[in-house]
């Protein structure tokens, strides 16, 4: 829709006779059209229900799925597709929706004069949709650019409480919409363009357990610090690295009791206790520090609490980065 710079000429040419529309247009022409909806002084603001519906529409609610993914091969099983939403496309989407009420040139002129204020209302309202549903404080401001992703995976169905965190330069971006479009398809929209998106297993996935050694008949635990020794403590609960590599951590082997009573999978706690003690006694940090048994409480005793810390299996996390951010991280 083209913007009319001289709206006063529209009033005199298109609507020479006084009418309700003329009054509304003159009010718009003489009032300062705000960029922040909180400072609006328009007496004839668009109906709230209309603004709500249009705001939801710009977040793709009600848009048929085949319009988003016209060909199934564009979103195969176990795939994720990131995208931007073009602002011009959003505006044309709103134009198409409000064109239903246009039955004359006069109505069309009315929309032409109102559209800037209506777009501002819609843009502000879509920041409030998700916060209102979650009973949270409304976003005061956010990036006008909207990006997002479509995620098609068994994970969507298996983890209905999956958590999504998108960040830009380490700062979390607001989520404008996050919906399961079907049992296996998730749609998420951000206010802004993230350089890092994390998929986190629901918190109820936290449990005790062992780590399988990639199909081998052995198991192990990832050894974690206990907040000791006092002078230079190993951070409590943090997995201990053995080198600067991101996947090289200190481990301790875990064995099971002999199957002499018909029960399988029972951990030999005494062997595990000794293995954890040995791991701490021989551990050297990447910077060469050797805490030894002082990293354990009570002069090197592996207490039940210490074993429990080692058995904690946290919720899983999958991290996606844009090519630019991943390359930047590698350089660092």
Centroid of chain to Cα 102: 39
Residues 294 and 229: beta-carbon distance below 8 Å? yes
Which is higher by pLDDT, 255 or 244? Answer: 255
Count each helix (H run) and each strand (E run) in the chain, helices first.
12, 13
Local confidence band at 44 (pLDDT 50, 70, 90 cut-offs): low
Residue 244 domain-assigned (yes or no): yes
Rounded to whole angstroms, how far apart are CA atoms 248 and 210?
A: 17
Helix or strand holding residue 16 (H, E): none
Residues 162 and 201: beta-carbon distance below 8 Å? yes
| Strand, coil or helix: 55 | helix
Residue 240 domain-assigned (yes or no): yes
What is the per-residue pLDDT for 325?
54
DSSP state, residue 205: G
R_g of the chain computed on alpha carbons: 30
Residue 45 domain-assigned (yes or no): no
| pTM of the entire predicted model | 0.63
Residue 60 has pLDDT above 70, yes or no: yes
Instruction: Give phi and psi for 80, each to the nearest 5.
Output: -140, 140
Q: Where are the beta strands (DSSP E) in 154-235?
A: 163-168, 171-172, 175-182, 185-191, 196-200, 207-208, 211-212, 219-222
Per the structure, the complete domain to which residue 242 belongs is given by 207-313
Residue 8 domain-assigned (yes or no): no
Residue 211 has pLDDT above 60, yes or no: yes
Residue 318 domain-assigned (yes or no): no
Residue 129, token pair as written in the block: 């949709």
Residue 227, token pair as written in the block: 């907040």
Give the range among 10-14, 115-119, 326-330 with minimum mean pLDDT: 10-14
Residue 293 domain-assigned (yes or no): yes
DSSP state, residue 192: B
Average pLDDT over residues 115-141: 85
Q: Report in angstroms the alpha-carbon separations of 147 from 136, 160, 212.
A: 22, 22, 38
CA angle 188, 190, 191 (to 5 degrees): 155
Among candidates 3, 19, 237, 220, which has minimal Cα distance to 11? Answer: 19
DSSP state, residue 74: G
DSSP state, residue 262: S
**Helix ranges restricted to H, the chain:** 7-14, 20-30, 48-58, 65-68, 87-98, 105-125, 129-133, 154-158, 269-282, 297-300, 304-311, 323-331
Residue 59 domain-assigned (yes or no): no
Which is higher by pLDDT, 226 or 25? Answer: 226
Rounded to whole angstroms, how far apart are CA atoms 188 and 200?
A: 14
Q: How many domains does the chain have?
A: 1
Residue 25 has pLDDT above 70, yes or no: no
Residue 308, token pair as written in the block: 């429990």
Which residues, in sequence order, are bridge partners of residue 222?
Answer: 251
pLDDT, tens digit, for every residue of 256-307? 887 666 567 788 899 999 999 999 999 999 888 999 999 998 778 899 999 9
Residue 271 domain-assigned (yes or no): yes
Name the average pLDDT for the chain: 80
Residue 67, token pair as written in the block: 């319009």
Give the range among 59-63, 95-99, 113-117 with minimum mean pLDDT: 113-117
Residue 28 has pLDDT above 90, yes or no: no
What is the per-residue pLDDT for 45?
67
What is the per-residue pLDDT for 324?
60
């Amino acid at each position: 829709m083209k913007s009319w710079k001289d709206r006063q000429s529209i009033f005199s040419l298109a609507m020479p006779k006084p009418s309700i529309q003329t009054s509304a247009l003159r009010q718009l022409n003489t009032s300062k059209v705000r960029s922040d909806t909180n400072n609006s002084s328009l007496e004839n603001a668009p109906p709230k229900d209309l603004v709500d519906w249009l705001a939801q529409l710009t977040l793709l609610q009600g848009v048929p799925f085949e319009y988003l993914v016209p060909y199934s091969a564009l979103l195969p099983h176990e795939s994720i597709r990131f995208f931007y939403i073009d602002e011009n496309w959003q505006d044309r989407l709103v134009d198409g929706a409000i064109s239903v009420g246009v039955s004359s040139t006069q109505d069309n002129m009315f929309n032409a004069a109102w559209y800037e204020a209506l777009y501002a209302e819609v843009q502000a309202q879509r920041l409030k949709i998700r916060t209102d549903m979650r009973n949270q404080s409304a976003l005061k401001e956010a990036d006008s650019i909207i990006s997002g992703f479509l995620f098609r995976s068994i994970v969507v169905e298996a983890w209905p409480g999956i958590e999504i965190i998108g960040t830009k330069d380490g700062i979390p971006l607001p989520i404008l919409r996050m919906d399961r479009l079907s049992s296996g398809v998730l749609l998420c929209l951000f206010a802004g363009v993230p350089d890092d998106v994390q998929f986190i297993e629901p918190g109820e996935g936290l449990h005790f357990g062992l780590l399988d050694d990639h199909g081998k008949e052995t198991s192990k635990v990832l050894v974690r610090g206990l907040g000791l020794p006092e002078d230079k403590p190993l951070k409590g609960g943090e997995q201990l690295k053995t080198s600067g590599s991101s996947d090289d951590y200190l481990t301790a082997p875990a064995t099971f009791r002999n199957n002499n009573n018909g029960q399988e999978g029972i951990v030999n706690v005494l062997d595990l206790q000794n293995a954890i003690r040995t791991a701490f006694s021989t551990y050297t940090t990447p910077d060469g520090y050797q805490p030894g048994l002082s990293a354990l409480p009570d002069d090197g005793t592996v207490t039940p609490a210490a074993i429990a810390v080692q058995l904690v299996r946290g919720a899983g996390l999958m991290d996606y980065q844009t090519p630019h951010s991943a390359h930047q991280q590698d350089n660092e």
